[in-house]
Structure 1
Amino acid sequence: MELLRGAALLLLVAAAAVCWAQQDQGCTCSKNKRTTNCSLSSGTCQCMSFGSHVPVRCDTLTSKCLLMKAEMAGLKKAGRRERPKYAYVDNDGIYDPDCENSGIFKARQCNGTSCWCVNTAGARRTEKSDTELKCSELVRTSWIIIETKHSERSTAVDASRLKETIKNEFNRRYLLDPKYISDVVYENPYITIELKQNASQKSPQDVDIADVAYYFEKDVKGDTLIQNGMLHINISGEPLKFGQPLIYYVDEKAPEFSMKRLTGGVIAVIVVVILAIVAGIVVLVITQKRRGKYEKSEAKEMNEMQRELNP
């Protein structure tokens, strides 16, 4: 009996030692390179997001907010202060965001001198204002349109196969349920990928389409966030190489921009068009005046000729 108790005690000690070793053992975060202090706990790798020290799961995607914050922390650590090479479609570029403990963006973002409201993708949806600005809610981005194109190929791309391949790869690499890819449109060489995901559709286990779009954008730009290498999509046995993507966000509520939102280039175009219209009106008026003078002069000359013929 004592022998059995001793054996059981040894098994308990061995099990405790194994558990301790697993918890103490380091690991690699497969879905996020921008992590630190990784450890294996109960067979699951857990890490801290770089720059914010928020715990993240390594078996799913990290939120875009934490990824942007980690990137900014890396730029500051490296001593860089200039804007990164790539900017977002809304022309605000990358910024150091404020994130909730859950990893999502806070509705209001500030840079010290001004504040603005963002959507769940972190894109600005209001004018920049002073620090007194209030953002009542974080508006959800329910529709994301990704526009890209592929480089020259020796073989043609089958549109139906492309759609199926992209759905499978987004599911495998980004864990996105194919039901959230509403359409893939191909017009050689342009590819449009539409992601749709309402708040009522998304379960706690589903990845967010805003995070998926960000991971894809980083993959295409050669700055992958995933440990197991770059994105590889093959069609007809030939790799499909994507060009720089444009990503558009459609929110559940319309953005709140005014004429101040117009960029200098758009304003310049409007000014040129207005000047062209004004110039056209001026030319028309001058032409009409000259025509009137010519008609009067012609009538006067005709009267003089008639008097000379009939003295």
Structure 2
Amino acid sequence: MESTFRPAFLLMLVTAAAAQDDHCKCPTNKWALCDSNSGSCICTMFGSNQRLDCSTLTSKCLLMKAEINRSGSRNFPKPEHGFLDNDGLYNPDCEASGIFKARQCNETDTCWCVNSAGVRRTDKGDINLRCSELVRTNWIFIRLKHQERQNAFSESDVANSLRQLIQNRYMLHQKFIPTIEYDSPFIRIDLKQNVSQKSYRDVDIADVAYYFEKDIKGAPIFHLNDAFNISVNEEPLDIEEILIYYVDEKNPEFSMKRLTAGVIAVVVVVILAIITGITVLVITRRRKTGKYEKVEIKEMGVMRSGQNA
């Protein structure tokens, strides 16, 4: 009897341990590494070993670091004269609190300054570049476009559905969502949050935007079984495009080198239009002046012939 009981008891222990490990997960972060050996579920972040609070969103800085490191690929040497464009996803330096460090650099000692959303706000420089502060992003403008449909949604229904989604899924208080506008097929969402408005427990709008973007692009960060979907009155709101714009408390510090080809083209067209306008004006004045001179000469000739008579 004892020999039969012991294996059964061990099987129960293994099953209980497996069940405990199955419950030791971070619901807000599927990239978290969780351990229950100490009697409680402790989760740390892959790529940085940072202790996580799984009752709220993980900071964007730690998420980017995990995403850039989670592939586990070999570090192949870079080609000679090769360089990296670090706009977008890069391996960031994070403070102990999880926020971005104001200055970011890559392995080639190219450095730049970022805002609190981790987005570059200066030209790139060398290792001597200094960033005096981490400038806060206090306004995030999200532009969505849904697939073409026969009938447009009601603007109020779209706004209510997205407001509830952002509040419930991403834990952002509605006071930080001042505007949601809809003009089929485009949707505008404003997230605004100053330092003075944000309490310790409030999620950051930059983290919300990052989670939301990942959900829209089919790469959710949440450790949830249910699939992400947006619906309006039980009809799917199929998003096919998302653009996110960041507005900081202080203007970015880009030089003319930052101008895109499109902006440069517009500037060139404007300059050419001005030059053409000035040229036309000068030619027109010269023609008018020539006519006046001919009339004056003719009148002088008539006067002289009258005098001779």
TM-score (norm 1): 0.77
- Residue of structure 1 equivalent to 2:164: 168
Cα distance in 1, alignment partners of residues 71 and 38 from structure 2 = 34
Q: Identify which of 101, 109, 114 aligns with 1:113.
A: 109
- Please tell me the residue identity of whatever aligns with 1:270: V
Q: Identify which of 82, 91, 108 aligns with 1:96.
A: 91
Cα distance in 1, alignment partners of residues 117 and 77 from structure 2 = 24
Instruction: Report if aligned partners of 2:88, 2:119 keep a CA contact under 8 Å in 1.
Output: no
- Residue of structure 1 equivalent to 2:185: 189
Cα distance in 2, alignment partners of residues 160 and 213 from structure 1 = 22
- Residue of structure 2 equivalent to 1:70: 66
Q: Deviation at 1:97? A: 0.9
Which deviates more, 273-282 or 73-82?
Answer: 73-82
- Residue of structure 2 equivalent to 1:282: 279
Question: What number of residue pairs does the alignment pair up?
Answer: 285
Instruction: Report if aligned partners of 1:219, 1:230 keep a CA contact under 8 Å in 2.
Output: no
Give the secondary structure class of the aligned counterpart of 2:219: coil
- C-alpha distance 300-76 of structure 1, shift in aligned 2 (>3 A): farther
Which deviates more, 211-220 or 257-266?
Answer: 257-266
Which deviates more, 206-215 or 139-148?
Answer: 139-148
Instruction: Report if aligned partners of 1:146, 1:246 keep a CA contact under 8 Å in 2.
Output: yes
Cα distance in 2, alignment partners of residues 160 and 95 from structure 1 = 38
Cα distance in 2, alignment partners of residues 225 and 76 from structure 1 = 18
Query: What are the Cα deviations for residues 149-172 of structure 1, in whole angstroms up to 9, with x where unaligned?
Result: 222234442222222221221122
What RMSD over aligned residues (CA atoms) do the two structures have, in Å? 3.4
Unaligned runs of 5+ in 2: 1-12, 79-85
- C-alpha distance 141-45 of structure 1, shift in aligned 2 (>3 A): farther
Q: Deviation at 1:106? A: 0.6
Query: What are the Cα deviations for residues 9-38 of structure 1, in whole angstroms up to 9, with x where unaligned?
Result: xxxxxxxx89x9489725443322333x32
Q: Deviation at 1:174? A: 1.2
- Please tell me the residue identity of whatever aligns with 1:252: E
Give the secondary structure class of the aligned counterpart of 1:244: strand
Unaligned runs of 5+ in 1: 1-16, 83-90
Query: What are the Cα deviations for residues 264-292 of structure 1, in whole angstroms up to 9, with x where unaligned?
Result: 33223212321221123223323433444
- Residue of structure 2 equivalent to 1:60: 56
Q: Identify which of 213, 218, 228 aligns with 2:214.
A: 218
Cα distance in 2, alignment partners of residues 285 and 39 from structure 1 = 80
- C-alpha distance 230-299 of structure 1, shift in aligned 2 (>3 A): farther
- Note the 1:80-159 alignment, pairs <5 A: 92-111=87-106, 112-159=108-155
Is 2:261 the counterpart of 1:273? Answer: no
- Residue of structure 2 equivalent to 1:88: none
Is 2:203 the counterpart of 1:203? Answer: no
Q: Deviation at 1:58? A: 3.2
- C-alpha distance 42-162 of structure 1, shift in aligned 2 (>3 A): farther
Cα distance in 1, alignment partners of residues 41 and 189 from structure 2 = 32
Instruction: Report if aligned partners of 1:38, 1:46 keep a CA contact under 8 Å in 2.
Output: yes
Q: Identify which of 232, 235, 240 aligns with 2:237.
A: 240
Give the secondary structure class of the aligned counterpart of 1:69: helix
- Residue of structure 2 equivalent to 1:40: 36
TM-score (norm 2): 0.77
Instruction: Report if aligned partners of 1:155, 1:236 keep a CA contact under 8 Å in 2.
Output: no
Cα distance in 1, alignment partners of residues 77 and 212 from structure 2 = 25
- C-alpha distance 155-287 of structure 1, shift in aligned 2 (>3 A): closer
Query: What are the Cα deviations for residues 42-79 of structure 1, in whole angstroms up to 9, with x where unaligned?
Result: 88654332322323233321111111112222457277
Query: What are the Cα deviations for residues 208-263 of structure 1, in whole angstroms up to 9, with x where unaligned?
Result: 11100011111112222123244312112211112322212222333333434322
- Please tell me the residue identity of whatever aligns with 2:231: N
- C-alpha distance 248-39 of structure 1, shift in aligned 2 (>3 A): same
- C-alpha distance 161-106 of structure 1, shift in aligned 2 (>3 A): same
- Residue of structure 2 equivalent to 1:231: 228
Give the secondary structure class of the aligned counterpart of 1:25: helix
- Please tell me the residue identity of whatever aligns with 1:152: E
Q: Deviation at 1:80? A: 9.5
